[in-house]
Amino acid sequence: MIMRTIAALIACLSLASCEGPEKQGEGPGHLQKIRFQTDWYPQGEHGGFYYALAKGYYAEEGLDVDILPGGITYMGALRVTEGQADFAMNKVEAILRHADRGMPLRIVMATLQHDPQGILLHAESPVSGFADLDGRPLIAMPGGTWLAWLERKYGIQLRIIPSDKGMERFLSDPASGQQCMVTSEPFIAARQGLETRTLLLRDAGFDPQHVVYTSASFASAHPEAVSAFVRASVRGWVDYMTKDPSPAHALIMERNPRQSIEQLDYSRQALLEGGYVFGEGGAASCGKLSVERIEIMAAQLLELGIIKQMPDATLWSLSPTVLDNEQD
């Protein structure tokens, strides 16, 4: 009797292991697990993704999305290629560098049409343009591509003070400038009673799109999941920028208590006023990749000797959001 029971259990388990996708929980009604690696801790600059998560847009597309926070040791490309994350985010110039070194990545959508990075200055600083930065102290992460771009374009020598991701030195030193995101650091300075102004890198001609990417293997094996993730994310960004952002803000503050509603409102307003999410095309351009913009950035990196060759079109060919040069 015992032997017959054991045999029946073995047969049942064998049958279950051989059942098709629907019986295994991969058919209709099943949510495909997706891991999305962000580049920093939860913040307003990620608002569209958290809006899509909070409002159930990913679930409507059949996805169970886990948004993984980044940080100082962010290594999104490595996590994606090693299968520890399905999607990650970064600036397109970083993806071009990785691809040039042989990493099999695929860009699938734009997050920001323009780069909100700049140089924060005290309001009374004598610096009026990038050329005036010559020899002046600049608090920044060493090795940034934009640093090499500024030095080459303006014929200057930047005096870099390695950033510790804080603002204490900048706040106490009127002679210094600091690498910043216009969606964040000006707010922090203002809360300390300091008036500031910003030089935007996009005004110097260095303006990479911010993008979401995946591995070549994931993009090829799961094209439906890629399209679904992009659709839900774009929907989340459009609604985050045009509707009540509170669902996203509540989720961000829950996951990152250091964020305040004032900070989040400031970041979102800066994104709106600067046209960073939609660009010049309005909401219809949300998420769109520009081949022309990618090629311009690649040419700049090639000029600086940072990459060895122009990228192959396979880098973006599997994206459902590509604009060709004529459309952009």
Q: Which two tokens stand for residue 51?
A: 């809006």
Q: Which residue has the higher pLDDT, 321 or 122?
A: 122
Average pLDDT over residues 277-302: 96
C-beta neighbour count of 2 within 10 angstroms: 6
C-beta neighbour count of 250 within 10 angstroms: 14
CA distances 118 to 7, 54, 69, 200, 203, Å, are 69, 31, 23, 4, 9
Q: What is the pLDDT of residue 29?
A: 65
Average pLDDT over residues 111-126: 97
C-beta neighbour count of 19 within 10 angstroms: 10
- Domain presence at residue 93: yes
The mean pLDDT value of the chain amounts to: 90
- Domain presence at residue 1: no
Euclidean distance between CA atoms 31 and 66, whole angstroms? 12
Average pLDDT over residues 250-278: 98
Q: Which of 204, 237, 261 is the last residue of a domain?
A: 204
Binning pLDDT at 50, 70 and 90, where does residue 209 land?
Answer: very high
**Percentage, residues of the chain above pLDDT 70:** 89
Q: What is the CATH number of the domain that holds 240?
A: 3.40.190.10
Whether 160 and 219 map to the same domain: the answer is no
Q: Determine which of 4-18, 52-66, 99-113, 163-177 has the lowest per-residue pLDDT on average.
A: 4-18
Range of the domain at 95: 32-114+208-323
- Domain presence at residue 18: no
* pLDDT tens per residue, range 1-20: 433 433 443 333 333 333 33
Q: Which residue has the higher pLDDT, 185 or 11?
A: 185
Euclidean distance between CA atoms 180 and 8, whole angstroms? 65
Q: Which of 151, 181, 204 is the last residue of a domain?
A: 204
Whether 200 and 212 map to the same domain: the answer is no
The residues, ordered by sequence, that sit 6+ positions from 86 with a Cβ below 8 Å of its Cβ are 34, 35, 36, 80, 214, 218, 222, 225
Number of domains in the chain: 2
Average pLDDT over residues 138-164: 96
Whether 223 and 264 map to the same domain: the answer is yes
- Domain presence at residue 76: yes
- Domain presence at residue 24: no
Q: Which of 154, 188, 204 is the last residue of a domain?
A: 204
Is pTM beyond 0.75? Reply is: yes
Measured on CA atoms in the order 177, 181, 185, 186, is the torsion positive or negative? positive
Binning pLDDT at 50, 70 and 90, where does residue 125 land?
Answer: very high
The values of phi and psi at residue 167, to 5°, are -125, 5
Q: Is the pLDDT of residue 23 over 60?
A: no
- Asked if 187 contacts 263 with a C-beta cutoff of 8 angstroms, the reply is yes
- Domain presence at residue 280: yes
Whether 298 and 311 map to the same domain: the answer is yes
Binning pLDDT at 50, 70 and 90, where does residue 74 land?
Answer: confident
- Kindly report the three-state secondary structure assignment for every residue of 77-102: HHHHHCCCCCEEEEEHHHHHHHHHCC
The residues, ordered by sequence, that sit 6+ positions from 65 with a Cβ below 8 Å of its Cβ are 34, 35, 36, 52, 53, 58, 229, 232
Whether 173 and 304 map to the same domain: the answer is no
Average pLDDT over residues 182-209: 97
